[in-house]
Homo-oligomer: A and B are copies of this chain.
Amino acid sequence: MTDFSQTRALFDLPAGVTYLDGNSLGPLPRATAARVAQTVQDEWGAHLISAWNTCGWMAKPRALGDRIGALIGAEPGHTVIGDTLSIKVFQALAAALKLIPDRRVILSDTGNFPTDLYMAEGLLKLLPEGYELRTVAPEDVASAITEEVAVMMITEVDYRTGRRHDMQALTQLAHDKGALTIWDLAHSAGAFPVHLADCGADFAVGCTYKYLNAGPGAPAFIYVAPKHAAEAEPALAGWLGHKAPFAFDLGYTAGDGIDRMRVGTPPVIQMAALEAALDIWETVDLDALRARSLELADRFIAKVEATTDLALATPRAPRDRGSQVSFRHPEGYAIMQALIARGVIGDFRAPDILRFGITPLYLSETEIDHAAEVLADILATNAWNAPEYKERKAVT
């Protein structure tokens, strides 16, 4: 059983900061700097080119993939890391469409993270005419799964509201209609237990710099279900996905299974940070994490609703949400800037969403209460109504 009063010590958080933005960029694990330094100095510096073998760099994308796979309910050997989430979306979608050659519709929803939709748009411009990206409201996804749909590609948890789709039910519905599924787990992996294999998901993708805490620009991951492993065709046919990368054949032969979803040279230094982050995850009971996440989220919702008139944007039912709490306010941008100025870090998403990531590994009741109190004070005193908070800056 994970003791969440102890896990905070595994992170290096600045004093005076209440960090509720781990759903955007997780904080620095204490072990990461040394692990990265080791890779830079003792591996690259000392072993040079031979480190690809002697330090196991070449094998790491698979090993790290499996460690993530364990967090998302994947069968061992079917997850690999690399590239960015956008690239992994492209890979999954291109492969899925080829598996259903007689259908032409990609179904997604307006709650998807935009880059997923953009990557689909880009892919459609390459493909022969006739393909269509059909984007419906999140609540209409189930009814939009028809026999025209080749692939349902959705993000499980809405990046703005925290609304969570029912993976089991939607995957079943899609399969009933002969469609495949791609699940974007950007806001799921490390947020709560995911059960890819149990749900029968066909493809999944995600990033590791949010709840997983692997650092800015950390590599993404892709999962291909065992039933598709031998047939999924890699559109991004990079040399490290080749069956024999170091034979340097002129023609491409896809590697076995998930290996073919590797593309180019893996980001060794970022992998070191991912490795340190995953060391923490090996000690975490994900069911306990989920229970704790809901406990903290409910506490935050109750406090904020008791002390402000902010409108809850996140579904109230626990099963319908991920691990973030969002509120709406027309002056959300300025309110968030005022919060940040007082050390409570959440973020803002246009047009009116205040987002707060609930991350039990390093958040306690005290901080949840503090965040709610500062928020209430800012609203009660109109402290947000100052020019320095209202002026829009570039946001991330």
Judge whether A41 and B25 touch: CB under 8 Å: no
Whether the pair B209, A265 counts as a contact (CB closer than 8 A) is: yes
Whether the Cβ atoms of A269 and B268 lie closer than 8 Å is no
Q: How far is the CA of A126 from the CA of B212 in the complex (A)?
A: 33
- Assess A51 versus B216: contact at CB under 8 Å? Given A117-B250, A234-B122, A265-B84: yes
Contact between A86 and B269, CB atoms less than 8 A apart = no
Cβ contact of A217, chosen from B28, B242, B268, cutoff 8 A: B268
* A110 contacts B by Cβ under 8 Å: yes
The complex places the Cα of A86 from the Cα of B119 at a distance, in Å, of: 17
Q: In the complex the two chains form, is A251's CB within 8 Å of B57's CB?
A: no
Tell me if A84 and B83 are in contact (CB < 8 A).
Answer: yes
* A68 within 8 A of partner (CB): no
Which of B40, B128, B349 contacts A273, CB < 8 Å?
B40
Residues in B with CB closer than 8 Å to A52 are: 25, 216, 396
Q: Are A48 and B21 in contact (CB under 8 A)?
A: yes
Q: Given A84-B238, A394-B58, A50 and B340 touching (CB < 8 A)?
A: yes
Q: List 23 A-B contacts (CB under 8 A).
A: A14-B48, A21-B48, A21-B49, A25-B49, A27-B48, A37-B37, A53-B396, A87-B264, A118-B238, A121-B237, A121-B251, A122-B235, A126-B126, A127-B128, A128-B128, A207-B265, A216-B269, A217-B267, A217-B270, A219-B267, A246-B350, A246-B396, A267-B270
Q: How far is the CA of A85 from the CA of B264 in the complex (A)?
A: 7
The contact string, 1 if C-beta is below 8 Å from chain B, for chain A 28-61, is 1000110011001100111011111100011000
Q: How far is the CB of A294 from chain B (nearest CB, A)?
A: 23
Interface residues of chain A: helix, strand, loop or mixed (majority): mixed
Residues of B within 8 A of A238 (CB): 84, 86-87, 115, 118-119
Q: What chain B residues lie within 8 Å of A86 (beta carbons)?
A: 236, 238-239, 263-264
Asked whether, in the complex, the Cβ of A250 is within 8 Å of the Cβ of B215, the reply is no
Known: A110-B250, A264-B87. A393 touches B53 (CB 8 A): yes
Q: Knowing that A25-B49, A87-B87 touch, tell me 9 more A-B residue pairs with CB under 8 angstroms.
A: A33-B41, A49-B345, A52-B216, A84-B264, A114-B242, A117-B252, A121-B251, A121-B252, A126-B127
User: Do B216 and A118 touch across chains, with their CB atoms under 8 A apart?
Assistant: no
